Amino acid sequence: MIGIAIALSSQWGAITRFDWRIAPGVFALSILLLAVGPILQGISYWLLLRMLGLPSNFSEALLIWMRSFLVRYAPSGALSVVIRVRERERMSATPMDIYTSTAYEQLVALIAGAVACLAAFAAAGVRPPLLAVVISICVVLVGIAVRPRFFRHWGTRLLTWRGIDPGPLLRGRQLIAAVIFNLPGWFATGLGTWLLLRSLASEEIPGIAWLTGVYAFSWMIGFLVPLLPGGLGLREATFVALIGKSVGVGPATALSLALRLASTIAEFVAIGLVELLYVFRKRSGGWRGDLEIRLRRGRGVRSG
Cβ(126)–Cβ(210) below 8 Å: yes
The larger pLDDT score, comparing residue 241 to residue 114, is at: 114
Model confidence at 81: pLDDT above 80: yes
Query: For the residues 115-140, what does the mean pLDDT come to?
Result: 91
Q: Report the pLDDT value the prediction gives residue 304, as an integer from 0 to 100.
A: 45
* Mean pLDDT score of the chain: 80
Please enumerate in sequence order all residues whose Cβ is within 8 A of that of 182, keeping only pairs 6 or more positions apart, or say none: 37, 40, 41, 44, 108, 109, 112
- pLDDT band, very low/low/confident/very high, at 4 (cuts 50, 70, 90): low
Judged against a pLDDT cut of 90, whether residue 188 lies above it is answered with yes
Given pLDDT bands bounded at 50, 70 and 90, which one contains residue 187? very high
Domain boundaries, the chain: 22-286
Mean pLDDT for 114-135 is 91
pLDDT tens digits, one per residue of 14-67: 667 666 667 788 888 999 999 999 999 999 999 999 998 888 889 999 999 999
pLDDT tens, residue by residue, 244-287: 777 777 777 778 888 888 888 899 999 999 999 998 888 876 54
DSSP conformation letters of 154-207: HHHHHHHHTT--------HHHHHHHHHHHHHHHHHHHHHHHHHHHHH-SSPPPP
pLDDT tens digits along 133-169? 999 899 888 888 777 666 665 556 655 655 556 667 7
pLDDT confidence band for 231 (50 / 70 / 90): low
> What's the chain's length in residues?
304
Cα 24 to Cα 30: distance, rounded to the nearest angstrom: 10
The helix or strand, by DSSP H or E, that contains position 232, with its residue range, turns out to be none
Residue 213 near residue 117, CB atoms below 8 Å: yes
Is 90 exceeded by the pLDDT of residue 170? no
Reported pTM: 0.81
Tell me what pLDDT residue 302 has: 46
Mean pLDDT of the 116-127 span: 92
CB atoms inside a 10 Å sphere around CB 286: 10
Confidence (pLDDT) at 291: 46
pLDDT band at 205 (very low <50, low <70, confident <90, very high): confident
